[in-house]
Amino acid sequence: MKILAIESSCDETAAAVVQDGTQILSNVIYTQIALHQQYGGVVPEIASRKHIENISAVIDRAVSESKTTLADMDAIAVTYGPGLVGALLVGVSTAKALAFALEKPLVPVHHIKGHICANYLENPDFKPPFLCLVASGGHSHIVLVKDYTDYQVLARTRDDAAGEAFDKVSRVLGLGYPGGPAIQKKAKEGNPNAIHFPRVNMGEHGFDFSFSGVKTAVINYLHNAEQKNLAINPADVAASFQEAVVDVLSEHLLCCAKEQGVSRIALAGGVAANQALRERISEKARANHMKFQYPRPELCTDNAAMIGCAAYFEYQNGVRADMSLNAVASVSLI
Ligand code: ATP
Ligand code: MG
Ligand code: FE
């Protein structure tokens, strides 16, 4: 079964052709990062306009690189939410038009389910059930993946997402957008134990996250140094911030897995590309005899192949949309 998948929830215009759920025939990503960099973050209106300009060419390329034709598709899949509503609308409208004109079924996909399904693209032998840490630009969830289409959110962030904290700290350090890769690079030159930034533990309130405190602590540290005319070492700040975030993400995931009696864990979302996070969880998983899976970096950040993979399982489960499908800015996983 071949699915043409479209993703436009944020600042990546993406299309992919995925066969039988896990075989990537093509995966085209047009990233708008360079465009938004000058503003220090994504400008929603600009993102929507760029999606409109590029989506047809991105789809054409995905189809031609897959060595198939539009007529070969068995379904059209699209991210309908969550995300920037204007950006999502471009993908949703395009997918509806294609499904209508080609008389193919239309499959709506939840963006976060797509991120989780990237693990099956990486390793088709990795199957549910497992516990997945989803850490991205807008989410920090611990999700129990009971089956390919059955999810339960066990923990979430009370304020900022992990990726959001990376992006904001990068901005105050003058390292640019997107923050994750910039902080990761800078952190390599620094000492992760140079500065102690707070780690929020919810104690008996479970495994929820809170990243606004660590973000504010970094901002206060920099303001304080500036007021007192003290020199700072940006590499030490980046490394110490990353260490604090990695500590909390890895600790919560492992403790939650133990509590649930789960021995298979995975990562998803843009922050899952972080090398320090991957290494830390690998060590902990090994020590606890757990199987640990994560997607390669280009499948962690936004792409359409992950949407095609999620769509395959949703389709098998009977999920279809009609021409009334709309973009939804905020929609929960279940
Ligand atoms: P969401 O998926 O929650 O809707 P999004 O789609 O904007 O949000 P993603 O594309 O999944 O987010 O991930 C982007 C985020 O991942 C950004 O915040 C970025 O800084 C972060 N990120 C990317 N690479 C890394 C890395 N190597 N280390 C840490 N963070 C990273
Ligand atoms: Mg992005
Ligand atoms: Fe995303």
Under a CB-based contact definition with an 8 Å cutoff, are residues 79 and 91 in contact? yes
Q: What is the pLDDT of residue 146?
A: 98
The band of 96, judged by pLDDT with boundaries at 50, 70 and 90, is very high
Complex-level ipTM beyond the 0.85 threshold:
yes
Q: What is the pLDDT of residue 202?
A: 83
Arithmetic mean of pLDDT, 257-277 = 98
Sequence-ordered list of residues with C-beta below 8 angstroms from that of 218, at least 6 positions apart, any chain: 169, 172, 173, 197, 237, 241
Count CB-CB contacts under 10 A for residue 45: 10
**Taking the domains of the chain in order of start, what are their residue ranges?**
2-116+300-316, 128-295
Q: What is the pLDDT of residue 205?
A: 75
CA distance 287 to 308: 34
CA distance 78 to 90: 10
Choose among 92, 94, 110: nearest CA to 102: 94
The answer to whether residue 334 scores a pLDDT higher than 80 is no
Starting at the edge strand found earlier in the chain, the sheet holding 140-147 runs 150-155, 140-147, 130-135, 264-268, 291-293
Please report, as a single letter, which amino acid is at residue 198: P
pTM > 0.95: yes or no:
yes
Q: Identify the nearest ligand to the CA of 163 by its number.
A: 1
Starting at the edge strand found earlier in the chain, the sheet holding 23-31 runs 23-31, 12-19, 2-7, 75-81, 106-110
CATH code for the structural domain at 2-116+300-316: 3.30.420.40
pLDDT tens, residue by residue, 118-169: 999 999 999 999 999 999 999 999 999 999 999 999 999 999 999 999 999 9
134 is known to lie in a ligand binding site? yes
Indicate which atom in ligand 1 lies nearest the CA of residue 269.
11
The superfamily CATH assigns to domain 128-295 is ATPase, nucleotide binding domain (3.30.420.40)
pLDDT tens, residue by residue, 33-44: 999 999 999 999
Widest distance between CA atoms in the chain: 67
Q: What is the pLDDT of residue 203?
A: 78
C-alpha separations of 24 from 9, 46, 65, 140, 152 in Å: 20, 29, 11, 27, 27
Indicate which atom in ligand 1 lies nearest the CA of residue 275.
27
The band of 74, judged by pLDDT with boundaries at 50, 70 and 90, is very high
Given ligand 1 and candidates 10, 141, 157, 281, which is best to mutate, with the most ligand atoms within 8 Å of its CB? 10
Q: What is the pLDDT of residue 159?
A: 97
Q: What is the pLDDT of residue 143?
A: 98
- Kindly report the protein residue whose alpha carbon is nearest to atom 4 of ligand 1: 138
Show the ligand 1 pocket: residues with CB < 6 angstroms: 9-10, 82-83, 111, 115, 136-139, 163, 166-167, 178-181, 184, 269-271, 273-274, 301-302
pLDDT tens, residue by residue, 189-219: 999 999 999 999 887 778 999 999 999 999 9
CA distance 154 to 123: 24
* CATH topology identical between 2-116+300-316 and 128-295: yes
State the DSSP string of 106-144.
EEEEEHHHHHHHHHHHH-TT--SSEEEEEE-SS-EEEEE
180 is known to lie in a ligand binding site? yes
The answer to whether residue 183 scores a pLDDT higher than 90 is yes
Q: Please report how many Cα atoms fall inside a 13 Å half-sphere around the Cα of residue 5, on the Cβ side.
A: 39
Choose among 107, 117, 145, 156: nearest CA to 311: 107
Under a CB-based contact definition with an 8 Å cutoff, are residues 321 and 139 in contact? no
Q: What is the pLDDT of residue 310?
A: 98
Residue in the block written with tokens 């699915």: 3
The residue ranking higher by pLDDT, 306 or 201, is 306
Q: What single-letter DSSP state applies at residue 172?
A: H
Percentage of the chain beyond pLDDT 90 is 97
Lowest-pLDDT range of 197-201, 272-276, 298-302: 197-201
The band of 104, judged by pLDDT with boundaries at 50, 70 and 90, is very high
